[in-house]
Amino acid sequence: MFKHIDPIFMNRKIKNLFLTILIINLWACIKPYSPNLKETSTEKYVVQGTISNVEGWQKVNVSINSSVNKPQYIPIENCEVNIIDNEGNSFDLQQFGAGNYMVWMSSDELVIGRGYKVKVKTVEGTVLESDYDYMPTGPEVGNIYYKIEQHHIDYPEGWVKGIQFYTDMSAENSNSRFYRWKLTETYEYHSAYPLEFYYNGEVQQVSPPDSSEMICYRTDLVDEIFTLSTENFSSNSVFKYPFHYVENTSARLAVLYSLLIEQMALSRNAYTYWDQLKQNNEDQGGLYATQPLAIKGNIKNINSPEFEVLGFFQASFISEKRIFVEPKPEFELIFSDRCYPEQLMFGFKEISPYDYPAYLLSVDGFPSSTLLNDECIFCTLRGGVTQKPDFWPNK
């Protein structure tokens, strides 16, 4: 017996309600932190921020580092945060989310050659202040391209084929010799089947089949630091500088892949900070996998200079470029879409009520006795969203 149902049905509502409650509880764990740091404490203030030549929101984050054994994000809220330039102009930042502070600055307030610093005052009266960092000139992002290569990676298979990204940069008109690249990847991926049949004590049909969660998009920061100094080069340029590598064992290249390259021209001090982070994080699991390491930045505790403050506030010339990669017929992909159909040997009586709704494979428009796990239908379970990014091309 087949019944028409709405796409949102009760069992899924219950699942979504449980998930919502879980997320709310997890979010509630991120609470404002009122530190009472002592000189012997392993906890330290962390201040990270960037001001750039690009008109828009300038951002500063204030937090406390956590223990290595129990890593967590501990934001500092209700701070007074100001960005101050070396001509005496001050810009007040407002809090947007836990530990995040932002201010909109126009292009005439973001001046190449001008020095900028950040000043943070916590609710306890502790003042954290950076040195001035001077905004350099910088080049636009140069040529971005990729090549199919084999790399030896610490996988069981050893040599893995993939796509290696490169850039060519010419910066003869830049007064900076120091650079960092920040990469953000976005990719489209699909689930294997629409929602058409499910079992909850009897077979139910969704008509027409619900394909609303078959196409997803996922965006992640690339968990690597890319830095370069041309100080000892004969020219302020580089050819075939290697970026990110994407293996063919990933679903990221199956439909459409995009890489956003954010190129930053840095001061010498900012470069030194990020290059040291790069060297340390290569052995520590990546930039976003660990707590900030005790590398000397440009932030000081004004009340108690003997207390170390982690992080760096930088003024950078930033330019961006985006590249898209379509599937290559000659480039074989070997990955799992996490869809594992299971043939029921003894029919629907094998399905426990605890597994309702149990999704069924449709064969020629009829329900089969093949069970589909949730990932076969709902692409959001693999970390993405169904909302197409504004920059995504129409097909």
pTM of the model: 0.82
Read off the tokens for 49: 């921020």
Mean pLDDT of 41-66: 91
**27 within a domain of the structure (yes/no):** no
pLDDT at 378: 97
User: How many domains does the chain contain in total?
Assistant: 2
Same domain, 334 and 194: yes
Residues 52 and 95 in one domain: yes
CA distances from 68 to 42, 43, 62, 144, 312 (A): 10, 11, 19, 37, 20
Query: Does one domain contain both 164 and 122?
Result: no
Is the same domain home to 130 and 221? no
179 and 280 fall within a common domain: no
Q: 203-210 and 237-247: which strand pairing?
A: unpaired
The domain of 111 spans: 45-136+267-318
Mean pLDDT of the chain: 87
Please report whether residue 394 resides in a domain: no
| Joined tokens for residue 326 | 């379509």
pLDDT in tens, 284-294: 554 444 444 56
363 and 250 together in one domain: yes
Residue 392 lies in a domain: no
312, pLDDT greater than 80: yes
Residue 22 lies in a domain: no
Q: What is the pLDDT of residues 148-190, one digit of tens each?
A: 988 877 766 678 889 999 999 999 888 999 999 999 999 999 9
Strands 133-134 and 358-363: unpaired
Worst-scoring range by mean pLDDT, 37-41, 134-138, 331-335? 37-41
Check residue 283 and give its pLDDT.
Answer: 61
Ramachandran region, residue 214 (left: φ > 0; alpha: ψ -120 to 50; beta: rest): alpha
Q: Is residue 191 part of a domain?
A: yes
Asked which of 49-53, 64-68, 233-237, 348-352 is least confident by mean pLDDT, the reply is: 64-68
CA neighbours closer than 13 Å in the CB half-sphere of residue 150: 5
Mean pLDDT on 14-25: 42
181 lies in the same domain as 149: yes
Q: Cβ atoms within 10 A of the Cβ of 359, count?
A: 23
Same domain, yes or no: 169 and 252: yes
Same domain, yes or no: 216 and 361: yes
Does some domain include residue 338?
Answer: yes
Same domain, 347 and 254: yes
**245 plus 279 within the same structural domain:** no
Q: Are 362 and 325 in contact (CB under 8 A)?
A: no
Evaluate whether residue 5 is within a structural domain: no
Distance from C-alpha of 386 to C-alpha of 147, rounded to nearest angstrom: 30
The 10s digit of each residue's pLDDT in 237-277 is 999 999 999 999 889 999 999 999 999 999 999 999 999 99
Alpha-helical segments (H) within 2-151: 10-28
Mean pLDDT of the 21-39 span: 46
Do residues 255 and 157 both lie within one domain? yes
Least confident span in 65-74, 203-212, 319-328: 65-74
